[in-house]
């Protein structure tokens, strides 16, 4: 016998800012933060790629094949 249960999950929370290196653990972390809107599209893409890679690594999974990005 096999039972499957479907569960709804929430998306990852999207931050409003990034923390500058060397500021984690400081008393006022927001003083060392940069709003996402201040980052370039290339910087945002790099951060998202790094996050995606790290999520799959932490889960012990390989990414599925990706379609080629349109230029």
Res. 5 pLDDT band, cuts 50 70 90: very high
pLDDT of residue 46: 97
List, for residues 22-71, the tens digit of each pLDDT value: 755 655 555 689 999 999 999 999 999 999 999 999 999 999 988 887 66
Angstrom distance (rounded) from CA 12 to CA 56: 14
Phi, psi of 44 (to 5 degrees): -60, -40
Cα distances (Å, whole numbers) of residue 16 to 7, 24, 35, 56, 60:
27, 16, 6, 23, 28
pLDDT of residue 37: 97
């Amino acid at each position: 016998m096999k039972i499957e249960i479907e569960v709804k999950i929430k998306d990852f929370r999207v931050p409003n800012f990034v923390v500058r290196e060397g500021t984690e653990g400081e008393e006022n972390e927001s003083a060392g933060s940069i709003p996402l809107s201040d980052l370039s599209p290339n910087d945002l893409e790099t951060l998202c790629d790094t996050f995606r890679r790290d999520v799959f690594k932490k889960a012990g999974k390989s990414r599925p094949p990706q379609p080629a990005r349109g230029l």
